[in-house]
């Protein structure tokens, strides 16, 4: 991406080559591109991005896993940008008749979709599909791998309350092993200059991951990102009980007192009340979980606009 300065404006140019289509992983997005996406999301939130719209475009959604926040916010984001929305449900699609996902994607492209948003249980699926179609694909969560849109809204929320990511102490706590949110957030935050550490049961940690001591680590934490405990892990014997998890690694009222008064509490949702955190903590002023949900619409507006129109010159007011 080359940058060309003109009077009173900044212009970013993305070359229109197939390898640059879509938004698949945080690892493929530079610091400047992350900042540009955040600036655009802020612009939409402030109601100043009316010229940056997708009027007449069509966004197709394909979610093979359950979702409330991600799917609904992508839908709202597309609608706010003026785009038409195609919502394809796997249970009622021709995939149940034996059609391949590649052919499904090709069908949506042939119908005139300008962008495809996919959530799927298979890691790397969006990058694989991108080799077969010429419209951009946005990764809405693939297996245990990546969740770039959740990462962007987390960054947006943090930036609203903290002056800089540099030297920010971020603690990600919970089921790190199975979390695509943890992978995306940790990579982006480190790229932006933050210090990232992890806490949680050893059975829910990737091999050789260094963990910090809970809850003592909360005393030096600027941002705490709690992860949803996937209850199916208990059935696999990775946890003894949900109550024990809450007592050992949950954010209780007692543990909350260890957090600095200006710290932030984030959670990608859905929240298991009484497991990752106590009911009262969810409504604590330091909790920005509802703000994350709100920011998700604007962050995804920025991603949709950039994915669809990113191969053109995108004007951002100075």
pLDDT in tens, 246-294: 999 999 999 999 999 999 999 999 999 999 999 999 999 999 999 999 9
Task: Give the pLDDT score at 3.
Answer: 25
Residue 240 pLDDT greater than 50, yes or no: yes
User: Rounded to 5 degrees, what angle do the CA atoms 148, 33, 178 make?
Assistant: 20
Task: Give the pLDDT score at 84.
Answer: 98
Task: Give the pLDDT score at 238.
Answer: 72
Q: How far apart (Å, rounded) are the C-alpha atoms in residues 65 and 139?
A: 13
Residue 99 pLDDT greater than 50, yes or no: yes
Whole-model pTM? 0.89
Task: Give the pLDDT score at 189.
Answer: 98
Mean pLDDT of 240-250: 86
CB atoms inside a 10 Å sphere around CB 163: 7
In the sheet with 2-6, reading across from the earlier edge strand, the strands are 2-6, 9-13, 313-317
pLDDT over 70 percentage in the chain = 86
């Amino acid at each position: 991406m080359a940058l060309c300065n003109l009077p009173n404006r900044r212009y970013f140019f993305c070359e229109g080559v197939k390898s640059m289509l879509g938004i698949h992983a945080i690892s493929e997005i530079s610091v400047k591109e992350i900042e540009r996406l955040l600036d655009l999301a802020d612009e939409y939130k402030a109601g100043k991005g009316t010229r940056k719209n997708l009027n007449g475009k069509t966004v197709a959604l394909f979610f093979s896993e359950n979702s409330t926040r991600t799917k609904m916010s992508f839908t709202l984001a597309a609608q706010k940008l003026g785009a038409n929305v195609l919502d394809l449900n796997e249970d009622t699609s021709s995939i149940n008749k034996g059609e391949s996902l590649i052919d499904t994607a090709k069908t949506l492209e042939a119908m005139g979709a300008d962008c495809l948003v996919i959530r799927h249980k298979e890691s790397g699926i969006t990058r694989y599909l991108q080799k077969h179609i010429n419209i951009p694909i946005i990764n809405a969560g693939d297996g245990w791998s990546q969740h770039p849109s959740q990462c962007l809204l987390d960054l947006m929320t943090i930036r609203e309350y903290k002056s800089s990511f540099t030297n920010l102490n971020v603690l990600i706590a919970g089921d790190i092993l199975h979390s695509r949110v943890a992978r995306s957030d940790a990579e982006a935050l480190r790229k932006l200059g933050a210090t990232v550490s992890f806490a949680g049961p050893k059975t829910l940690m990737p091999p050789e991951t260094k963990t910090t001591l809970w809850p003592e680590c909360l005393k030096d934490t600027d941002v705490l990102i709690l992860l949803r405990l996937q209850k199916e892990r208990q059935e696999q014997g990775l946890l003894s009980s949900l109550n024990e998890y809450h007592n050992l690694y949950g954010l209780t009222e007692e543990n909350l007192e260890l957090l600095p008064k200006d710290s932030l509490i984030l959670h990608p949702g859905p929240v298991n009340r009484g497991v990752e955190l106590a009911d009262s903590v969810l409504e604590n002023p330091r909790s920005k979980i509802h703000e994350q949900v709100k920011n998700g619409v604007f962050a995804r507006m920025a991603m949709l606009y950039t994915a669809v129109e990113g191969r053109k010159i995108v004007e951002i007011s100075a």
